[in-house]
């Protein structure tokens, strides 16, 4: 950038002294500009009209009759030797080095793409999430249990009874329909067997065998009535919702996750009103509602895989995903990202990106 100096005096001795001082200071930095470049005057095209002609209407003409200012500029300012600046080292032109560098760049690019693909595969889907044991059990379709007579071939009484008992004991029901538990079913069948059993002294061996066979058939019939495999889709949805309540309800998780040791500063147990105790099962907490929405989202997303042009259900799916995001954000803020929040997120197969970032569908 040019240096602006004050206009010279009538004699040229001050200009020479300034040039000598500047040249000596530049010589210390190994810079050797010529004196002509230091004393170069301002070009005619850069001199304003105010410097050449006085403005009209001004009484003081001394302000406009001053000579043009002097600009000092340096052409080359190199702190290194001129030979080093001219003879720059050129990159090697060996083809082997060029090929090795290109190979290294290709390996780095391939590794980066591989890591990106691994992260993308490891990241759960923000809509349906990754597979967890809870979601696998929800999506599992129980096998339809055929009639017991189709499983046992005609044979004599003792052999037929043995086959009946073997099949009934090997059947695994899992979750039952009509809001019943396997323990309740086993207790009811044992009580009915005790009520139907007659004294051994007043019955014959044939009657005892027939009573045992009837009880075995009744057990098999009850298994088929209460099996979810023989129920409708509405029965399966109702059973899944009941399981969500039993897994995430506060009446169960309050024992798993005790209260925080550090309560809020705004709470005062002495003056705060006593909270009404919960009656029955919890169905309105954020985690239970998020689990309900997850069941609906997974079912609707599976249906949209085949019906790609169902725009109304696409909108419904988007609304449910955003509603679940709001519930889980509230739960994270309320629980401060504690054990209860992590338990819900791990069970539903979601991560923080699924609720804190924007989801595109």
For 201-251, write each residue's pLDDT tens digit.
Answer: 777 888 887 888 888 888 888 888 998 888 888 999 999 999 999 999 999
- Please give the structure tokens belonging to residue 141: 């379709």
pLDDT band at 58 (very low <50, low <70, confident <90, very high): very low
**pTM greater than the 0.85 cutoff:** no
Q: Which helix (H) or strand (E) holds 70?
A: strand 70-72
Residue whose tokens read 């300034």: 18
How confident is the prediction for the chain on average, in pLDDT?
77
DSSP structural state of residue 66: S
Query: In the structure, what pLDDT confidence band is assigned to residue 11 with cuts at 50, 70 and 90?
Result: very low
Model pLDDT for residues 125-137, shown as the tens digit of each residue: 889 888 899 999 8
225 vs 162: which has the higher pLDDT: 225
Q: Is the pLDDT assigned to residue 181 strictly greater than 80? A: yes
Q: What is the mean pLDDT of residues 30-35?
A: 47
The model's confidence at residue 28, banded by pLDDT at 50, 70 and 90, is low
Conformational region of residue 179, where left means phi above 0, alpha means psi within -120 to 50, and beta covers everything else:
left
322 within 8 A of 127, measured Cβ to Cβ: no
- Cα–Cα distances (Å) from 348 to 149, 245, 296, 333, in that order, read 41, 14, 13, 18
- List, for residues 71-102, the tens digit of each pLDDT value: 444 455 555 555 555 666 666 678 888 899 99
The pLDDT, as a whole number, for residue 249 is 93
Cα end-to-end distance, the chain, whole Å: 57
pLDDT at position 13 is 58
As a whole-number percent, the residues of the chain with pLDDT over 70 amount to 70
**5: β partners:** 70
Q: Report the 10 Å Cβ neighbour count for 38.
A: 21
**Does residue 227 or residue 198 have the better pLDDT?**
227
> How confident is the model at residue 303, as a pLDDT?
92
pLDDT at 247: 93
pLDDT at 151: 72
pLDDT of residue 150: 72
Asked whether residue 157 carries a pLDDT value surpassing 50, the answer given is yes
Q: For 279-336, write each residue's pLDDT tens digit.
A: 888 999 999 999 999 999 999 999 999 998 999 999 999 999 999 999 999 999 998 8
Q: How confident is residue 8, by pLDDT bands cut at 50, 70 and 90?
A: very low
Q: Cα separation of 249 and 281, whole Å?
A: 7
């Amino acid at each position: 950038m040019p240096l602006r100096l004050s206009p010279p005096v009538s004699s040229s001795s001050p200009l020479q002294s300034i040039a000598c001082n500047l040249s000596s200071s530049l010589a210390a930095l190994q810079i050797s500009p010529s004196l002509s470049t230091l004393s170069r005057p301002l070009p005619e095209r850069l001199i304003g009209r105010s410097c050449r002609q006085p403005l009209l209407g001004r009484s003081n003409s001394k302000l406009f009759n001053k000579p043009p200012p002097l600009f000092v500029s340096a052409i080359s300012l190199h702190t290194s030797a001129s030979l080093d600046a001219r003879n720059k080292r050129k990159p090697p032109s060996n083809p082997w080095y060029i090929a090795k560098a290109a190979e290294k760049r290709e390996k780095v690019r391939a590794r980066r793409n591989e890591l990106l693909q691994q992260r993308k595969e490891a990241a759960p889907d923000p809509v349906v999430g990754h597979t967890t044991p809870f979601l696998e059990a929800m999506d599992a379709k129980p096998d339809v249990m055929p009639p017991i007579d189709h499983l046992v071939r005609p044979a004599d009484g003792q052999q037929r009874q043995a086959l009946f008992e073997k099949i009934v004991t090997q059947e695994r029901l899992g979750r039952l329909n009509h809001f019943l538990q396997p323990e309740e079913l086993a207790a009811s069948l044992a009580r009915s067997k005790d009520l139907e059993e007659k004294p051994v002294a007043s019955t014959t061996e044939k009657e005892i065998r027939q009573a045992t066979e009837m009880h075995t058939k009744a057990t098999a019939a009850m298994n088929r009535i209460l099996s979810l495999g023989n129920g409708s889709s509405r029965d399966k949805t109702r059973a899944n919702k009941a399981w969500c309540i039993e897994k995430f309800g506060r009446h169960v998780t309050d024992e798993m996750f005790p209260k925080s040791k550090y309560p809020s500063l705004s709470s005062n147990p002495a003056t705060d009103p006593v909270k009404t105790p919960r009656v029955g099962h919890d169905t309105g907490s954020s985690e239970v509602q998020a689990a309900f929405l997850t069941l609906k989202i997974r079912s609707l997303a599976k249906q949209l895989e085949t019906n790609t042009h169902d725009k109304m259900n696409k909108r419904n799916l988007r609304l449910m995903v955003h509603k679940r995001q709001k519930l889980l954000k509230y739960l994270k803020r309320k629980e401060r990202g504690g054990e209860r929040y992590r338990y819900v997120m791990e069970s539903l197969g979601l991560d923080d990106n699924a609720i804190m970032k924007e989801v595109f569908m």
